[in-house]
Amino acid sequence: MSERFTADRLKNEKPEPVEAASRRFLFVPVILISMFVGFGATYLGFTTRSAGVVGDSSSPPGTGAEPKGDETAAKGKQIFTTTCQACHQATGLGIPNAFPPLAGSDWVLGSPERLVAIVLGGLEGEITVNGQKFAGVMPAWKETLSDDDVAAVASYVRSSWGNSGESIPSDLVKKIRERTQSKTAPWAGEAELNREKWE
């Protein structure tokens, strides 16, 4: 090969590629991050309700009213959220064919003693709520919740989602706990509950 040919080849040879040498892709990460942040902000803007609405964003407007008594209401809501909401839902409407609703339920708005007995002892068997039959299992909370806790959560469900029941005092919970202390199995549906004399 001649020197002229070699020089010509060297002159036309492109330099070896070097990683991150090109600057044209330098702003790609910045653009992508901006797009994700913009999408997230837009999504939140369209899906969240204003902070002035009581209740969570999964509740229909006007259905998450807190019961009276700020501390008891907050405590009742917190207990409901951690122990009851998975089955009865944040809206109090339950899950069709699985878990009964608490909103507008005569079991919630009826006898306070019966409601407390269900929360303390649990329920296993058929029960009709708002005209629909349910046959699920509700755990007993007597070993987990104190009298004050049961009173708070029962009062919460009696005054939320359009319910207008009176609050339940702790001494009533204590009375029902003592009355049912020998009961070791959950209530066998409405058949057993209806045999008891509740006020």
Q: Is the pLDDT of residue 64 over 50?
A: no
Percentage of the chain with pLDDT > 70?
67
Q: Is the pLDDT of residue 150 over 70?
A: yes
Tell me what pLDDT residue 195 has.
Answer: 86
Average pLDDT over residues 172-178: 91
Q: Is the pLDDT of residue 75 over 70?
A: yes
What are the sequence ranges of the domains in the chain?
A: 3-47, 70-195
Q: Is the pLDDT of residue 57 over 70?
A: no
Q: Is the pLDDT of residue 113 over 70?
A: yes
Residue 9 sits at φ, ψ, to 5 deg, of: -65, -45
For residue 11, is it left (φ>0), alpha (ψ between -120 and 50) or beta?
A: alpha
Which residues are CB-neighbours of 125 under 8 A, at least 6 positions away? 135, 186, 187, 188, 189, 190, 191, 192
Query: Which 3-state string (H, E, C) describes the chain?
Result: CCHHHHHHHHHHCCCCCCCCCCCCCCCHHHHHHHHHHHHHHHHHHHHCCCCCCCCCCCCCCCCCCCCCCHHHHHHHHHHHHHHCHHHHCCCCCCECCCECCCCCCHHHHCCHHHHHHHHHHCEECCEEECCEEECCEECCCCCCCCHHHHHHHHHHHHCCCCCCCCCCCHHHHHHHHHHCCCCCCCECHHHHHHHCCCC
What confidence tier does 69 reach under pLDDT thresholds 50, 70, 90?
Answer: low
Q: Is the pLDDT of residue 80 over 80?
A: yes
Tell me what pLDDT residue 196 has.
Answer: 82
Q: Is the pLDDT of residue 29 over 60?
A: yes
Average pLDDT over residues 55-71: 47
The larger pLDDT score, comparing residue 8 to residue 102, is at 102
Tell me what pLDDT residue 7 has.
Answer: 67
Q: Is the pLDDT of residue 38 over 70?
A: no
Say what the pTM is.
0.63
Q: Which CATH superfamily is domain 70-195 in?
A: Cytochrome c-like domain (1.10.760.10)
Token pair belonging to 28: 């790609």
Tell me what pLDDT residue 115 has.
Answer: 92
